[in-house]
Every structure is written in C-alpha cells, then in structure tokens.
Amino acid sequence: MPGTGRHIRADCGRAAGSAPGDHHRLHRRSGIPHPDATPTAVGAVTAALAVAPLIEARAVTVRAGGRDIIHDVSVEVHAGEIVGLVGPNGAGKSTFLRALAGARHTSGDIRLRGTPIDAVERRERARFIAVVEQLPEAPSTMTVRELVALGRFPHLGLLRRQSAHDRNMTDEAMRRSGCDAFADRVLGTLSGGERRRAFIARALAQEARLLLLDEPSANLDAEAQATLFELLRALAAEGAGILVVVHDLTSAAASCDRLVLLHQGYVLACGAPREVVTAEHVLAAYGPHVSVFEHPTSGIPLVIPAAAAR
C-alpha cells in the first residue's frame, strides 16, 4: 500500500457474538428475500435470512481514470446498527458509498439480503436503499415538500398518484428531520443546513431498510448535528441499517457502532470505535498533526489538532 501504515484485507462485519439488531421490526415492501418472504421458509433458511446483512460487500474494487481508486474493500451492515466510513480527504469514502448504491462500476460482490445487487430490480432496490449524496441536486424552484414527496416514488402504483398514506409519510419524514417548519419554501432560499435536512427527509420518506449517507452532518451546527445523530440512532433502533460517511472522527466514534477507516482506497482498520480510532491508526491515516485522547468519563476517543494538545 502506498504511503504510511498498512492496509488489511479485513472482514469488516459485525463481531461474532455482538448483539444483533431486531430484524423483524421493519418488514417493508421489497423484492429482496427476508424471513417473511415465503411462508414455508422455516428452520435453517429462515434463521439464515434473519441474520443476513442488509448489505454485504466483498472484495470491492472501483476503477476510474485507468487506475484502481478503491482496493479490495469488504464491509457489511446489519439491521439495527450504524457503521461509519471515516478517513482523510481523498480516501475513497464517497466513491465506495456510490459503489454500494450501484452507481459505480465495480469488481467484487455486493449483495442485498443475500441477493446479488444486479439481480434486484431497480424499483425494488429503491425501496430497499435510500441514498443521500454529499452534494445532492434538485431544481432550486422545487419546494421542500415536493422534494420530500419524491421519496415516495418507489412505492406508488401505476398511475403514480399519492395516497393519504404517502402524504402522511412525507409529513412524518419532514417532522422527524426538522424541516417541517420550512416545508413550503423553495430549495433556492434554504441555507446549507436546511437543504441538507430536506434531502435527509426525502430519504426517510422512502422507508428504506438501508440508508447510505454521505456526510449528512455537513453544514449543520453543533445542535443540529447532535439532533441528526439522535435521529439516526432512533432509526437504527427501529431496525434500519445505516452506513454513513463522517468527516469528524470524534463524532464518528461517539455515534457509530462500528467504523471502517479508509486510507488511499484501502481499509486501514475496522471494528469498534475504540479499536479503530487509535494513535497508531490516526497517525498512519492523517499524519502527525492530530492527536488522540480518551474522554475521561465515557472513554470515547477524542481527536484534536496536535497543536491544541501542547
């Protein structure tokens, strides 16, 4: 691996014996197999599906511009957990997230509930995965309510008419994301933080089992960031699986169940936050200009500029 540190061919899955999420709380519509898919699927088959990751990526490599930019990365996300993708700028976090969403050509194996992602029909995939990109686009003249309502599109019938349930889900998504107060404003009038919350609301309206979020806390103030991670924790408690790119290592360590540290397109470390955010790993990925300390009460790793620690 180029640069400092070492890359690992790691199985970045949940540790054996760790508490699983409740896989039965959110049996939403999806063509992807789950424990209730066939009444006769009992015993070993049902048990296997019950513990299957929502998404499982094995040896994923992404090539662009004639070179590999993601190298042999393996990650899985289960229902009920938040997995953070961390690493310095240019590490490949956003590229890998787009690959998992099926937006980038890859080699390797990506499965949704055990089904190869390419075998899942596009509409069914949209019911299963919601994506919030780092710089999402939408017409500046569109209202927040109209944007959020687009999240219901995968659930609409042939006539594409929204039902009372669809409208209720749109309203609930705006309420939970905190953008109901500006629901009728157009996107062009929003601040960066307000715009971010609107796109998060669209993802919530989608009722997806799996959320792929690229720096959702960007442009949010400290209170809004805390509220966002409380929302993500609540969604995980309801049975969703969340893979989130987080720029701030301290926030990631405090908010995520597991972390995957990328460096130059390789996995440098993965596991529980205290196993990943160590002085050795941070030095290898970020250089000598940041320091790692342990919170005196919680034990959560704190990452600060080295100059501030002198």
- List, as one string, the DSSP characters of 8-23: ----BSPPTTSPPP-T
| pLDDT computed for residue 65 by the predictor | 84
Q: Give the span between the Cα atoms of 225 and 230, in whole angstroms.
A: 9
106 lies in some domain: yes
- Low-confidence residues in the chain, pLDDT < 70: 1-11, 14-50, 158-159, 308-310
265 lies in some domain: yes
166 lies in some domain: yes
| pLDDT computed for residue 55 by the predictor | 97
Q: What is the pTM of this model?
A: 0.84
| pLDDT computed for residue 219 by the predictor | 80
Q: The domain containing residue 104 runs over which residues? A: 44-271
Token look-up 């919170």 returns 295
Structure tokens at 119: 């075998």
305 lies in some domain: no
In DSSP terms, which residues pair with 109 in a beta bridge? 58
Q: Quick one: the chain helix, strand, coil %, rounded to 5?
A: 35, 25, 40
10 lies in some domain: no
38 lies in some domain: no
Q: What is the CATH number of the domain that holds 123?
A: 3.40.50.300
35 lies in some domain: no
20 lies in some domain: no
| pLDDT computed for residue 24 by the predictor | 29
Domains of the chain: total: 1
- Per DSSP, which regions of 172-221 are E strands? 210-214
Would you tell me the crossing angle of helices 222-237 and 192-205 to the nearest 10 degrees? 10
